[in-house]
């Protein structure tokens, strides 16, 4: 359920946190009939994630994925260099794709 939530969150473009978790639960989990054991396990997984996120944020982290942090860094660097928004967006996608490809080759 962790990957499911993160993928949904990235597609929806929302920040990690309780509001995102609630929206995911309503939009994805409750959208179909589920077995009770599934709901219990997924609820525990989401509770673990939110606890982890709270600890991460207390330690000064953001809880953002590596891809999100890379995109933000490329956007800031592109802005400093005066690159057009479309160029920055293109470079962000290329960098994330390269990272994903390397991870796939290593696994």
On whether both 46 and 78 belong to a single domain, the answer is no
Give the pair of three-digit tokens for residue 83. Answer: 């690159």
pTM of the model: 0.66
On whether both 37 and 84 belong to a single domain, the answer is no
Question: For residues 12 and 68, what is the distance between their CA atoms, to the nearest angstrom?
Answer: 13
* Confidence label for 103 from pLDDT (cuts 50, 70 and 90): low
| Whether residue 105 has pLDDT greater than 80 | no
Residue among 33, 37, 32, 43 nearest 5 (CA): 43
Range of the domain at 79: 66-106
Report which secondary-structure segment, H or E, holds 101. Answer: helix 85-106
Question: For residues 55 and 73, what is the distance between their CA atoms, to the nearest angstrom?
Answer: 23
Q: What is the pLDDT of residue 44?
A: 96
Question: For residues 48 and 37, what is the distance between their CA atoms, to the nearest angstrom?
Answer: 17
On whether both 71 and 50 belong to a single domain, the answer is no
On whether both 46 and 14 belong to a single domain, the answer is yes
On whether both 80 and 34 belong to a single domain, the answer is no
Residue carrying the six token digits 């802005």 = 79
Query: Percent of the chain scored above 90 by pLDDT?
Result: 47
On whether both 39 and 86 belong to a single domain, the answer is no
- Give the range among 26-30, 47-51, 64-68 with minimum mean pLDDT: 64-68
State the total domains in the chain.
Answer: 2
């Amino acid at each position: 359920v962790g990957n499911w939530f993160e993928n949904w969150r990235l597609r929806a473009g929302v920040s990690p946190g309780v509001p995102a978790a609630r929206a995911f639960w309503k939009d994805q989990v409750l959208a179909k009939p589920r077995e009770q054991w599934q709901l219990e396990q997924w609820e525990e997984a989401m509770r673990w994630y939110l606890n982890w996120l709270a600890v991460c944020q207390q330690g000064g982290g953001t809880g953002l994925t590596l891809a999100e942090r890379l995109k933000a860094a490329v956007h800031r660097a592109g802005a400093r260099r005066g690159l057009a928004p479309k160029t920055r967006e293109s470079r962000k996608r290329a960098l994330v794709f390269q990272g994903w490809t390397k991870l796939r080759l290593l696994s």
